[in-house]
Amino acid sequence: MKHNFNAGPSILPGVAIENTAKAILDLNGTGLSLLEISHRSKDFEAINNECMALWKELLAIPDGYKVLFVGGGASMQFCMLPYNLLNKKALYCESGVWAKKAAKEAKLFGEVVTLSSSADKNFSYYPELKNIPQDADYLHITTNNTIYGTELRRDIDSPIPLVADMSSDILSRPVDVSKYGVIYGGAQKNVGPAGVTFVIVKESLLGKVQRAIPSMLDYRTHIENDSLYNTPPVFAIYTMLETLRWIKAQGGVTKMNERNVQKADILYNYLDNESQMFVGTAEKTSRSVMNICFVMTPEHKDLEEAFLEFAKKAGMLGIKGHRLVGGFRASTYNSLPAASVQALVDCMREFEQQNKK
């Protein structure tokens, strides 16, 4: 039995994987592979439309917003966003490496002010989001920080348009979309395979910058064409659709949230209340429900490699921590079963008992 804790690309629902494999061999009984059909065909149009409709339904996206599917990853959004929205000044919350990368790209388009940062403690907490100045075009936040295991996990009020990179916690909980100007992210954690990026954008924010925007980087191009301006990543959109169908069948984002909190609690409880060997790295009030980061206590540090080896034999995949934090990381995205988290805790407990100092 393997337990997939990969940080992304990561575990997907079994049914989404199986149905994708089927569609690659034969889409809807057409005798053609999903890979061989035109993106202008009725079959793909139906996939694209259902996918957009499910996004709107699952997140209760209000009127005035559009859902787009584009290529290039969230990293492309780091420049596409300021291209479309940054006139003079933008605020960025520095909650980790990805947030810093987003801010760096924005500097090519205008003044970038760091509203708050947790760099002082290696991003082990979520920076404060208050006293937001009103003279900026938008405030950018990264809601979940995969590397450091911190998460905002609530919808804040902002006097200026709020832009959120939700690559690693989208659809893991209900979100009040009306509080955001733009929500974007790579699909490859909770909503699909690598290769497609979702953008939920409030249309009234667009068309206000003075610069000329290349067609492919202009959100309006994709809005006007229902994300079919050019050939979209057909396959990735199909698997995303299958993943959204699964989320809906499971009970939607309310149910996802319930399960995700329960899963995270299994591991955090062990770290907080039982283990003498492992300790969480993120401050408790900032803890992520998606990526749980932990290290060994100083007196056990020499056992890290041994534990990784032990866990690997027990079927735990992808639990090595990012080099910027060290230690371990368990990513517990939507489709990871609670049984996998329990198996990891059992494995940690067993190792701890065998290696007590």
Q: Which residues are near its own copies by CB under 8 A?
A: 2, 4, 6-12, 17-18, 20-22, 24-25, 31-33, 35-39, 70-76, 78-79, 101, 104-105, 108, 186, 188, 193-196, 212, 214-217, 229-236, 239, 317-318
Shortest Cβ distance from residue 120 to its own copies (Å)? 26
In the complex with its own copies, the residue whose CB is nearer, 196 or 205, is 196
Residue among 137, 165, 169, 218 flagged as catalytic: 165
Q: Which of 224, 222, 218 is nearest to 206 (CA)?
A: 218
Shortest Cβ distance from residue 313 to its own copies (Å)? 14
In the complex with its own copies, the residue whose CB is nearer, 181 or 232, is 232
Shortest Cβ distance from residue 295 to its own copies (Å)? 20
In the complex with its own copies, the residue whose CB is nearer, 52 or 336, is 336
Assess contact for 122 and 264: CB atoms under 8 A. no
Give the C-alpha distances (Å, rounded to integers) separating 128 from 90, 97, 166.
17, 17, 18
DSSP secondary structure string for all residues of 153-222: -S----SS-EEEE-TTTTTSS---GGG-SEEEEESTTTT--TT-EEEEEEGGGSS---S---GGG-HHHH
- 248 as an active site residue: the answer is no
Assess contact for 180 and 199: CB atoms under 8 A. no
In the complex with its own copies, the residue whose CB is nearer, 177 or 237, is 237
Residue among 189, 202, 218, 263 flagged as catalytic: 189
Shortest Cβ distance from residue 21 to its own copies (Å)? 4
At CA 257, angle to CA 176 and CA 93, rounded to 5?
55
One-letter amino acid identity for 190? N
Q: How far apart are the first and last CA of the chain?
A: 30
In the complex with its own copies, the residue whose CB is nearer, 25 or 306, is 25
Shortest Cβ distance from residue 79 to its own copies (Å)? 4
Residue among 43, 55, 98, 169 flagged as catalytic: 98
Could you say which DSSP state residue 326 is in? -
Query: What is the token pair recorded at 4?
Result: 């997939």
Query: What is the token pair recorded at 30?
Result: 């057409």
Give the C-alpha distances (Å, rounded to integers) separating 275 from 86, 169, 252, 269.
47, 27, 34, 9
Assess contact for 81 and 217: CB atoms under 8 A. no
In the complex with its own copies, the residue whose CB is nearer, 35 or 60, is 35
In the complex with its own copies, the residue whose CB is nearer, 20 or 124, is 20
- 98 as an active site residue: the answer is yes
Dihedral sign (CA 118, 121, 122, 124) = negative
Task: In whole angstroms, give the CA distance from residue 19 to residue 249.
Answer: 15
Task: In whole angstroms, give the CA distance from residue 258 to residue 265.
Answer: 11
Assess contact for 144 and 288: CB atoms under 8 A. yes
Give the C-alpha distances (Å, rounded to integers) separating 208 from 45, 95, 146, 248.
31, 28, 33, 36
Shortest Cβ distance from residue 22 to its own copies (Å)? 8
- 155 as an active site residue: the answer is no
Shortest Cβ distance from residue 189 to its own copies (Å)? 10
Residues catalogued as catalytic: 98, 165, 189
